[in-house]
Chain A
């Protein structure tokens, strides 16, 4: 699975400034030159009373590009942390590449850095299963699960299907094309679970983002897609597409989504969510771990957290510390079965 040849993403020979203040981020040219000059500072100190306090600014690593779901989550988490603890300044750093592999691998090389956090999601589990990376979730310190993001089965408004059961039934006798956003994408996982549950088969057409899938649905290129509510809410409200069912345990409370039945209600017992959460690097002190857990527990009580959840139509299912680890274990097993062949 992992090879000794794989380069460890350390910043050998290149001192990287790990604490970039928000002010500096405003003037990127300056920040860049400073980043190149100042030495590494893993931050963190143990106060006189034995309690941990991060030293200087905190960096939130986002293993995906700016503007995407992970980026939104990372920036929102930073805002929440700042709201919960006025002494902290969180700056976001995008390290994209390899569907998250670059960012997580960088994080792996930052083991012991107590000033660093990472905005995590299902790629944390999916990447190791796909076998291209040398980390798995046990290499990191899970701090907090922030939310669940379920998906809806979406069809074009003109589609003949009214329920997910219709689609499954049709798929048994005719060809149904399902757009997916990648082999390890949440949508592919949901479709695979549905196939395993019902015996139906969908023909996959690979795309690269929710936006592309939406375009393909609107243009009638594919029959079905499975999208996060936040990705498709605009087209749902305008009536250009319809949601047939939600792959969630319960119906959504959000007014715009409350009428969408769950897949289980239609006889398809499938529910799977992408999680959003916060990781710290491996090898940090117990004090630092506890500090971050406490900080995040305070952060999810803030108004900023509520705003983030509601703006993105997420489910506020949180789990901190050991509970998060437990969740990851269970989720990992399930994913192994679905995409680990």
Chain B
């Protein structure tokens, strides 16, 4: 083990490899900033560039691009509410609100730190425990995946806040959108209206760009541009209190992300949603979520980065891609003439361990590069939002076009931009819809496969122990809030609790109580007054926090 790590670092620490790793991280970040161009496209587009390099150097650079483009997506999620890929959708919820409060620098910094910590934790797990984890992942056949998808859909409950019915409705709309296209079981095309473009369904990256980026711009145009954010440089720096608040979420997010990441499929996206949902539950500031809670940025960012690394578990130990980006990376292996498979560790130790070591180095470069740059990026928001409209629209549309070199993607963005605008006007939550679109095809595939394996009987899912465990967790997700509310309420009354209506109010988590609406998802342009209200209900400390940001925003 140690020998291997030494071998890996001695491979990865050559000047050439470090240089290319840096180039990869940098170019990846630049690509990730473009809407629609997430890590999958980034790796695919830049792959030809690496073909002239030694295989290990090329792979190290590609890994750098992978990490870099993920972070690039986070930057736009926070600054302009435009997620680079599905896994960063959740980051927009609180990240963008933080940015509107002048705390973009802190949001970006905590993303960088959270990603780094998650990377180190998940890499340690990857290096030490990859084979058993890979074996564990293989136990997740279609019935188990079906249970995981049910669990994923159950998280929608925690996203919908008080508006459970609306949240579920939006999730259903998302699932409905996901039914467009050729059905995986029979090959029948559904709702395609004779269009070849609809055969592969409505692409969620474009849906996301439309809903979040274009929808937000349209909404801002109607409401009048928000004032530029004139935060001083000091406000842009992350504060010790922020770090203290984020420790737990980052750790929980990392482990959760790793666990979901080793499962093939929607690992990162599901992990980021789950991490957010869980933090919202366990955090003392649960009701602040959606109004710029730093935990709501730290947890999902840690989760999606850990999941990205965990994707390499099946990729390197079994030769089976863990996600879309690792599938492209496997393609690169083949181009280099390396057969990925269970023997990779034995046959190419220098390559595999060099690659793993470069993950450490790449994440370090990313942290060193982005921690000081976070306040600089955040300065972008000093530009009056009105001047940003054309830029956001242009990059959204160009990004969409470049996904498939096709105008179809552009139209999807435009149409969902308009839908997003109306959803904002009507205060409909968007995150459940995106989750529905992402999980829909996976849910259906698992359902069809389970039914095929069970010879038409989906009930076999109840005969699988692992699936039962996952289903039980899903059930707990749904029941827990009410249960937790009871316990909390009892404890509060016993302790005397903070007096006033706030204690019994929204924080208690009573599902029927009017919880603060999810401003980030629905009315995105939450102004100072709106955001202060839910924050103030949680207690004295958070009220103080909110007022700090209040000042920041008000400063001329």
**What's the minimum C-beta distance from B153 to chain A, rounded to whole angstroms?**
20
The residues in A between 286 and 319 inclusive whose CB is less than 8 angstroms from any CB of B are 307, 311-312
A130 near B45 (CB under 8 angstroms)? no
Say yes or no for B187: interface residue by CB 8 A criterion.
Answer: yes
The residues in A between 1 and 43 inclusive whose CB is less than 8 angstroms from any CB of B are 3, 5-7, 9, 11, 14, 16, 22, 25-26, 28-29, 32-33, 35-36
A105 near B331 (CB under 8 angstroms)? no
A102 near B196 (CB under 8 angstroms)? yes
Q: B216-257, CB under 8 A of A: which get 1 and which 0?
A: 000000000000000000000000000000000000000000
The segment from A164-172, A215-223, A257-265, A274-282 found at the interface with B is: A215-223
Complex Cα–Cα for A109 and B445 (A): 33
Say yes or no for B453: interface residue by CB 8 A criterion.
Answer: yes
- Contact partners of B406 in chain A: CB under 8 A: 9, 95, 97, 102, 106
B331 near A182 (CB under 8 angstroms)? no
**How large, as a class, is the contact surface on chain B?**
35 or more
B331 near A72 (CB under 8 angstroms)? yes
Complex Cα–Cα for A99 and B198 (A): 11
Complex Cα–Cα for A33 and B331 (A): 27
B314 near A215 (CB under 8 angstroms)? yes
Complex Cα–Cα for A116 and B140 (A): 43
The residues in B between 68 and 117 inclusive whose CB is less than 8 angstroms from any CB of A are none
Q: B417-450, CB under 8 A of A: which get 1 and which 0?
A: 0000000000000000000000000000100110
Given A205-B453, A218-B318, A234 and B343 contact (CB-CB distance below 8 Å): yes
Given A211-B327, A221-B142, A95 and B404 contact (CB-CB distance below 8 Å): yes
Q: B138-180, CB under 8 A of A: which get 1 and which 0?
A: 1111100000000000000000000000000000000000000
The segment from B334-342, B470-478, B542-550 found at the interface with A is: B334-342
- Which B-chain residue is minimally distant from A213 (CB atoms)? B320
B342 near A234 (CB under 8 angstroms)? yes
Given A72-B334, A96-B404, A221-B141, A3 and B48 contact (CB-CB distance below 8 Å): no
Say yes or no for A204: interface residue by CB 8 A criterion.
Answer: yes
Complex Cα–Cα for A332 and B40 (A): 34
Say yes or no for A184: interface residue by CB 8 A criterion.
Answer: yes
Say yes or no for A197: interface residue by CB 8 A criterion.
Answer: no
B334 near A102 (CB under 8 angstroms)? no
Complex Cα–Cα for A28 and B403 (A): 11
- In this complex, the member of B138, B140, B321, B405 whose beta carbon has the largest number of chain A beta carbons within 10 angstroms is B405
Say yes or no for B458: interface residue by CB 8 A criterion.
Answer: no
- Which A-chain residue is minimally distant from B398 (CB atoms)? A32
**What's the minimum C-beta distance from B404 to chain A, rounded to whole angstroms?**
6
The residues in B between 165 and 221 inclusive whose CB is less than 8 angstroms from any CB of A are 182, 184-187, 189, 192-197, 199-200
Given A14-B407, A72-B334, A218 and B138 contact (CB-CB distance below 8 Å): yes
Say yes or no for A240: interface residue by CB 8 A criterion.
Answer: yes
- Which B-chain residue is minimally distant from A4 (CB atoms)? B194
Complex Cα–Cα for A7 and B320 (A): 37
Complex Cα–Cα for A211 and B334 (A): 14
A234 near B404 (CB under 8 angstroms)? no
Say yes or no for B376: interface residue by CB 8 A criterion.
Answer: no
Say yes or no for A173: interface residue by CB 8 A criterion.
Answer: no
Say yes or no for B7: interface residue by CB 8 A criterion.
Answer: no
Say yes or no for A98: interface residue by CB 8 A criterion.
Answer: yes
A99 near B455 (CB under 8 angstroms)? no
Complex Cα–Cα for A28 and B399 (A): 11
A208 near B341 (CB under 8 angstroms)? no
Complex Cα–Cα for A242 and B504 (A): 63
A234 near B339 (CB under 8 angstroms)? yes
Say yes or no for B30: interface residue by CB 8 A criterion.
Answer: yes
The one of A36, A96, A233 in contact with B341, judged by C-beta atoms closer than 8 angstroms, is: A233
- Contact partners of A203 in chain B: CB under 8 A: 452, 455
- Contact partners of B140 in chain A: CB under 8 A: 219
A5 near B199 (CB under 8 angstroms)? no
Chain A: residues with Cβ within 8 Å of the partner, total of 71
**What's the minimum C-beta distance from A229 to chain B, rounded to whole angstroms?**
10
Given A97-B404, A206-B448, A29 and B196 contact (CB-CB distance below 8 Å): no
- In this complex, the member of A75, A218, A221, A240 whose beta carbon has the largest number of chain B beta carbons within 10 angstroms is A221
Complex Cα–Cα for A132 and B181 (A): 11
B200 near A28 (CB under 8 angstroms)? no
B186 near A132 (CB under 8 angstroms)? no
Q: A190-209, CB under 8 A of B: which get 1 and which 0?
A: 00000000000001111111
A7 near B449 (CB under 8 angstroms)? no
- Contact partners of B34 in chain A: CB under 8 A: 29
Say yes or no for A93: interface residue by CB 8 A criterion.
Answer: yes
B334 near A214 (CB under 8 angstroms)? no
Say yes or no for A46: interface residue by CB 8 A criterion.
Answer: no
A98 near B200 (CB under 8 angstroms)? yes
Complex Cα–Cα for A101 and B408 (A): 14
- Which B-chain residue is minimally distant from A238 (CB atoms)? B342
The segment from A62-70, A142-150, A320-328 found at the interface with B is: A62-70
- Which B-chain residue is minimally distant from A106 (CB atoms)? B406
- Contact partners of B327 in chain A: CB under 8 A: 67-68, 209, 211
A234 near B407 (CB under 8 angstroms)? no
Given A66-B47, A71-B331, A99-B199, A206 and B320 contact (CB-CB distance below 8 Å): no
- Which A-chain residue is minimally distant from B331 (CB atoms)? A67
- Contact partners of A94 in chain B: CB under 8 A: 44, 404-405
Given A22-B48, A99-B200, A68 and B319 contact (CB-CB distance below 8 Å): no
Say yes or no for B49: interface residue by CB 8 A criterion.
Answer: yes
The one of A3, A93, A98, A208 in contact with B405, judged by C-beta atoms closer than 8 angstroms, is: A93
**What's the minimum C-beta distance from B220 to chain A, rounded to whole angstroms?**
25
Complex Cα–Cα for A97 and B340 (A): 26
Given A33-B398, A234-B344, A66 and B44 contact (CB-CB distance below 8 Å): yes
Say yes or no for B60: interface residue by CB 8 A criterion.
Answer: no
B341 near A235 (CB under 8 angstroms)? yes
A6 near B334 (CB under 8 angstroms)? no
B331 near A68 (CB under 8 angstroms)? yes
B31 near A238 (CB under 8 angstroms)? no
B407 near A28 (CB under 8 angstroms)? no
- Which A-chain residue is minimally distant from B181 (CB atoms)? A98
B197 near A98 (CB under 8 angstroms)? yes
Say yes or no for A331: interface residue by CB 8 A criterion.
Answer: no
14 A-B pairs with C-beta separation under 8 A: A3-B194, A32-B402, A36-B401, A66-B328, A67-B328, A67-B331, A98-B200, A102-B406, A182-B184, A182-B187, A218-B138, A219-B138, A230-B334, A238-B342
**Which A residues are closer than 8 A to B by beta carbons?**
3, 5-7, 9, 11, 14, 16, 22, 25-26, 28-29, 32-33, 35-36, 65-68, 71-72, 75, 92-99, 101-102, 105-106, 130, 132-133, 175, 177, 182-184, 203-209, 211-212, 214-216, 218-222, 230, 233-235, 237-238, 240, 307, 311-312
- Which 5 residue pairs are nearest across A and B when measured between Cβ atoms? A234-B341, A67-B331, A98-B199, A66-B44, A183-B187
Known: A32-B402, A72-B331, A237-B343. 13 other contacts (CB 8 A): A5-B194, A16-B405, A32-B398, A67-B327, A75-B48, A97-B200, A98-B182, A98-B197, A208-B184, A215-B320, A219-B138, A234-B319, A312-B334
**Which B residues are closer than 8 A to A by beta carbons?**
30-31, 34, 37, 43-49, 137-142, 182, 184-187, 189, 192-197, 199-200, 264, 314, 318-321, 327-332, 334-335, 337, 339-344, 398, 401-402, 404-408, 445, 448-449, 452-453, 455
